[in-house]
Amino acid sequence: MNKIISLTKIQLKEFISKYQSGMNVKNKELGKLLLVGLLFALLMPMYQISSLLYRSFYEIGYPELTITYMYISTALIAFVSSIPLVISVFFYAKDLKLLATLPISENVIIYSKLSSIYLYTLGLSTVMLGPSLFFQMYYSRQPIIILIGIVAALITPVIPILIAMVLVMLMMRFFSNSGNRNLLSIIGNFLLIGVIVGIQLVLVRLQIRPEVIQEMMAKEDGLLRIIGYRFPPSIWLTKMMQASFFDTLLFLGLNIVLLLTLTVVAKAFYRRALQAFNVEGSRGSRKGSLYYKQHSIGYQLVKRHIQIILHNPTFFLNTFLSLLVPILIFGINFFTGQMSMELFRQPALQPYIILIYSGILISPAVMGNISATVISREGKAFWETLVLPITPQQNIKYRVLSTIIINLAGSVLLGALAAFIIPITMLEAALAIVLCVVVTLLLANADIIINIERPFLNWSNPTAAVKNNLNVMISLGLRVIYGGILFLVIRIIAPEPHTIAFIITIASVIMYYIVKALLYRKYTKRFTDIHI
């Protein structure tokens, strides 16, 4: 027991210290304040959403359904975000070689490493689910509910993390024996997410079948069952928060069963998975032939930055999941029938088609803030480009260009899909494309300034470089501020939708030139001063 406590302490200390260095705030108190502020800023919109849901469900007599709804969303997001985190911490962390040589069991390693993932996911679930649990505790005013609420808040992240852990562990064990571990890890994880989304789609379709709805509504807690059908633990948690002993047993029981499953899987697979993973790392691929080809400096540098993302599953999943989120939302809405051609053909929507299409096109640039971590991703290999005979401007330019290429590829894919169901004219599409290109240019240039200001090169695992990094939050914050200002201006002027698109384009062109001038004048010097 001492070993696990000792190792967990070290893992947590490392996680917290890396998180603090990721925030890159020298004053520790200021760092804590910033973290609280950040949590508060994230908590506010979730509080608003939960409050709105609570009032709506209260009016129909089922306020507890807020928990069901929010728990399903929390569990899904926690599961999806746990996957790259688990891969990063369990297979790419720098302490793995040391841990593998220590006289400790697989379970000790796993549970201690889980602590940092738990802490991260606890933050996420507190922000997302916390307000709805709070409403239930506050309005029930029963000590037992308050106690159950606290327990529920603490164990909420466990189920999604454990499911992700078990699946990733099994997948890595088998895939890491094969030729290209990175590629297979990426494909495997995409399949995993695809399967989960697929199951959700099937269940949603089942759920909307009239006979299923009738059958469920006939039961006492029919509405709860309809909402929680996709993820039964959400039903148990909701009833647990109403002091149902049986459902508390079911919910806690599932946590225990998953914990035991993980223990068994860990014993059987983790060490072998890690060993297989390391063997593959030292095995030559010997594919292709030797070649001697000349390319431009730009080609080589862009290729390098894209390869850095493609090579590391954590970087890849993080980058492409953020780009894929809009595509997933779009796909789910389309396949579940919530978004259809008929919907977009409604006369009331016609004037707004250009804004809807533009919004879809720019979503990869808005969600995928790749430039904000383009320097951090290189880690200690950053010295390589510094000693080459290239200008700092070239060094920066091709980093930005690699982001633009990735984001625009996402936009092209989304644009092509959306063009099938959104009745948009050629002229409108052209204006939307111009808007998309300008916004992508602006955001890619603005984000790299954040990374130059806050380069984070000494990271312990890849997730720290791209996820547990304040740069990403700052970048999202910038988008909110820019979007907010544009929204206010548009509200004041109240123009028609085509003019709105035009205003956004012109404003973004002006901002792009301002940001570009700032980047290539002031921040080039800062870039050359980055210490490794």
Partner 1 sequence: MLILSNVSKSYDNEKKAVDNLSLEIKQGEIIGFIGPNGAGKTTTIKMITGILAPTSGEIRINGLNINQNPIEAKRNFTFVPDHPTIFDGIKGIDYLNFIGDMYDISVAERQERIEKFTKIFHIYDALKDSISSYSHGMRQKLLVSGALLPNPKLFILDEPMVGLDPQANKMLKDIMKEHCKNGGTVFFSSHMLEVVENLCDRVAIIHKGKLIACDTLENIKKKNDTSLEDIFLEMTKDE
Q: What's the CA gap between 277 and 181, in Å, rounded?
A: 7
Give the end-to-end CA distance of the chain in Å, rounded to a whole number: 38
* Interaction of residue 453 with partner 1, rule CB under 8 A: no
Is 381 an interacting residue with respect to partner 1 (CB under 8 A)? yes
Tokens coding 23? 């925030």
Q: How far is the CB of 185 from partner 1 (least distance, A)?
A: 13
Task: Establish if 182 lies at the interface with partner 1 (CB under 8 A).
Answer: yes
CB closer to partner 1, 281 vs 483: 281
Amino acid sitting at position 503: I
Closer CB to partner 1, residue 396 or residue 436? Answer: 396
Q: How far is the CB of 320 from partner 1 (least distance, A)?
A: 16
What's the closest the beta carbon of residue 352 comes to partner 1, in angstroms?
44
Among 141, 220, 389, 494, binds partner 1 (CB under 8 A): 389
Q: Is 187 in the site for partner 1 (CB under 8 A)?
A: no
Among residues 457, 447, 451, the alpha carbon closest in space to that of 531 is found at 457
Helix (H) or strand (E) holding 43: helix 28-59
* Residues 226, 220: Cα–Cα separation, whole Å: 12
Q: C-beta of 502: minimal distance to partner 1 in Å?
A: 41
CB-based contact 110:265 (threshold 8 Å): no
The residues, any chain, with a CB within 8 Å of residue 410's CB and separated by 6 or more, are 323, 324, 326, 327, 363, 364, 368
Q: How far is CA 33 from the centre of its chain?
A: 24
Residue 386 interacts with partner 1 (CB under 8 A): yes or no: yes
Which one, 292 or 420, has the nearer CB to partner 1?
Answer: 292
Residue 178 near partner 1 by CB under 8 A: no
CB of 178 to partner 1, least distance (A): 14
Residue of 146, 308, 413, 476 that binds partner 1 (CB under 8 A): 308
Residue 183 makes contact with partner 1 by CB under 8 A? no
Q: Which of 28, 245, 292, 342 binds partner 1 (CB under 8 A)?
A: 292
Q: Which of 98, 218, 387, 494 binds partner 1 (CB under 8 A)?
A: 387
Residue type for position 468: N
**Least distance in angstroms from the C-beta of 381 to partner 1:** 5
Size of site (CB under 8 A) for partner 1: 43
In the list 26, 28, 141, 531, the residue contacting partner 1 (rule: CB under 8 A) is: 531
Smallest distance, partner 1 to C-beta of residue 97, A:
13
d(CA 351, CA 426) in angstroms, rounded, equals 15
Name the one range near partner 1 by CB under 8 A: 16-24, 104-112, 190-198, 305-313.
Answer: 305-313
Position 286 contacts partner 1 (CB under 8 A): yes
27 binding partner 1? (CB under 8 A): no
What the block records as the tokens of 511 is 């901002």
Q: Determine the angle formed by the axes of helices 106-140 and 65-91, rounding to 10 degrees.
A: 160
| Region of 153-161, 377-385, 438-446, 510-518 interacting with partner 1 (CB under 8 A) | 377-385
Confirm or reject binding of residue 281 to partner 1 (CB under 8 A): yes
CA distances from 82 to 150, 318, 415 (A): 22, 11, 29
Tokens of 45: 């919109």
In this complex, which beta carbon is closest to partner 1, that of residue 378 or of residue 447? Answer: 378
Residues 76 and 231: their CA atoms lie apart, in Å, by 10
Taking the C-alpha atoms of residue 35 and residue 448, their distance in angstroms, rounded to an integer, is 22
Would you count residue 217 as binding partner 1 (CB under 8 A)?
no
Of 381 and 506, nearer to partner 1 (C-beta) is: 381
Across the chain, how many H-helices and E-strands are there?
A: 23, 0
Residue 304 near partner 1 by CB under 8 A: yes
Alpha-carbon gap, residue 49 to 73, rounded angstroms:
12
Cα–Cα dist 133/147, whole Å: 11
458 scored as a contact of partner 1 (CB under 8 A): no
Nearer of residues 210 and 284 to partner 1, judged by Cβ: 284
Tokens describing residue 126: 């507190």
State yes or no: residue 285 binds partner 1 (CB under 8 A): yes
Closest contact distance (angstroms) between CB of 527 and partner 1 is 12
Q: Please tell me whether residue 282 binds partner 1 under the rule CB under 8 A.
A: yes
Report the distance separating Cα 486 and Cα 27, nearest Å.
34
Q: Are 172 and 303 in contact (CB under 8 A)?
A: no
Rounded distance, CA 83 to CA 316, Å?
12
Interacting residue with partner 1 among 388, 481, 485, 488 (CB under 8 A): 388
Catalog residues that contact partner 1 under the rule CB under 8 A. 182, 281-297, 299-300, 304, 307-308, 310-312, 378-381, 383-384, 386-392, 528-529, 531-532
